Amino acid sequence: MVTSDRFRQVMGNFATGITVVTTRDVGGKPYGLTVNSFTSVSLHPILVLVCLDNKLSGLQAFKDSKHFGVSILSEHQQDLSRLFAKKDSERPSAIYFEGKLGMPLLRNSLAVMECEIVAVYAGGDHQIFLGEVQTAEVLQLDHPLLYFRGKYRVLNQ
């Protein structure tokens, strides 16, 4: 039997990029969180997925919005990753810009996209949001922020 602690230890050996996934609540206020469970799914149609914890305070905001934004963080955005990893932390409006479809996206990210939610699946203690990419843009050519063995990492070249 694999325990959750063992699984976490093993999965910590898989380096992941860091994203901040955002939406707007029913009042139009930006809501977001740091997510490393993000991946591309399909090229035809263009699909990505994000996994969000069932206990997430803003889970319903994602479902109600029917859209989400993804900001892929650069190595210089570790502070933003930490900020969005903290529950209910104050996030100044100056860190956002509005995407073409109205999603709040993070300034100075490597790349951003806006997605329409096409399906939500139960996935154990998480919900799997499948999004069709509606807009996508590379903002800058820099190195990504990575997460490996419980720590932030950057590429050494």
pLDDT in tens, 30-73: 999 999 999 999 999 999 999 999 999 999 999 999 999 999 99
Question: Quick one: pLDDT band at residue 157, thresholds 50, 70, 90?
Answer: low
Amino acid at 45: P
The CATH number of the domain where 50 resides is what? 2.30.110.10
| Integer Rg of the chain from CA | 15
* 98-113 mean pLDDT: 97
pLDDT tens digits for 75-92? Answer: 999 999 999 999 878 899
Range of the domain at 98: 4-154
**What distance in Å separates the CA atoms of residue 24 and residue 88, rounded to the nearest whole number?**
14
CA distances to 16, 137, 143 from 80, in Å: 16, 19, 15
Number of Cβ within 10 Å of residue 119's Cβ equals 11
* 90-113 mean pLDDT: 96
Cis check for the bond before 92: say yes or no (omega within 30 of 0): no
| The pLDDT of residue 88 | 75
Whole-prediction pTM: 0.95
Q: How many domains does the chain have?
A: 1
Helix %, strand %, coil % of the chain (to 5): 15, 50, 35
Percent of the chain with pLDDT strictly greater than 90: 94
